[in-house]
């Protein structure tokens, strides 16, 4: 008798768990209405799951950052994605593939601030955008590796969000014309620290 009760308890726990997961997934698909109570009280933070890889639509082209580093006397422009792309094949112990994905998230985060929240590109620095702060952190890491400027310089950056869209298959030109958003004159804090 005890084992029968035990079996039903175990089974019940598993069924309830997956029922909650199922509801959460159906919400993410838009099949049922938002269930913030379930999300706040059960799913987040411990049982979160996202399975919408490359969907509903995958990225239709290349989105990346080019950073222009500036001091009073000098400038250097770096495609901060390029080395990561090339390096991702070198070792199984690198985080390059993660960084590529992260830069994509940052790109979308900045874009959301500009397009959805209506924040002007000149005011974006003060908008506390996580994506932008992360890109600035990463720009600082790249700059430290370059040893290009002397450490006592104040370094500012212009960030270009490049958008290179693909045309549909069988089109004569594979890519559409490149577009970009320009974020100007952001100071790299604590450079060399």
3-state SS class at 149? coil
Q: Least CB distance from residue 71 to another protein, whole Å?
A: 20
Alpha-helix runs per DSSP H in the chain: 2-29, 36-38, 82-87, 96-111, 130-146
Q: Which of residues 10 and 122 has its CB atom nearest to another protein in the complex?
A: 10
Q: Which of residues 75 and 108 has its CB atom nearest to another protein in the complex?
A: 108
The pair of structure tokens assigned to 19 is 């029922």
Query: Which burial class, exposed, middle or buried, applies to 188 when counting CB atoms under 10 A from its CB (0-12, 13-18, 19+)?
Result: buried
3-state SS class at 84? helix
Q: Which residues bind another protein (CB under 8 A)?
A: 3, 6-7, 10-11, 14, 17-18, 21-22, 25, 28-30, 44-62, 64, 81, 85, 88-89, 92-95, 97-102, 104-106, 130-131, 133-134, 137-138, 140-141, 166, 168-170, 174, 190, 193
Using CA atoms of 35, 37, 42, 48 in order, give the dihedral in degrees to the nearest 10: 40
Q: Least CB distance from residue 165 to another protein, whole Å?
A: 10
Q: Least CB distance from residue 34 to another protein, whole Å?
A: 17
Q: Which of residues 72 and 173 has its CB atom nearest to another protein in the complex?
A: 173
């Amino acid at each position: 008798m005890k084992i029968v009760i035990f079996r039903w308890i175990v089974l019940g726990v598993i069924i309830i768990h997956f029922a909650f997961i199922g509801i959460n997934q159906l919400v993410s698909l838009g099949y049922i209405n938002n269930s913030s109570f379930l999300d706040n009280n059960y799913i987040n933070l411990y049982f979160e799951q996202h399975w919408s890889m490359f969907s509903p639509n995958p990225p239709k082209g290349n989105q990346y950052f080019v950073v222009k580093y500036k001091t009073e006397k000098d400038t250097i422009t770096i495609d901060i994605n390029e080395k990561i792309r090339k390096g991702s094949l070198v070792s199984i112990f690198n985080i390059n593939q993660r960084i590529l994905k992260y830069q994509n998230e940052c790109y979308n985060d900045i874009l959301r601030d500009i397009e959805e929240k209506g924040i002007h590109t000149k005011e974006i620095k003060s908008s506390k955008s996580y994506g932008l702060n992360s890109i600035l952190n990463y720009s600082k890491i790249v700059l430290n590796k370059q040893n290009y400027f002397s450490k006592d310089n104040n370094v500012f950056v212009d960030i270009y969000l490049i958008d290179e869209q693909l045309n549909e298959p069988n089109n004569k030109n594979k890519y559409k014309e490149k577009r970009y958003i320009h974020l100007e004159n952001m100071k790299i804090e604590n450079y060399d620290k």
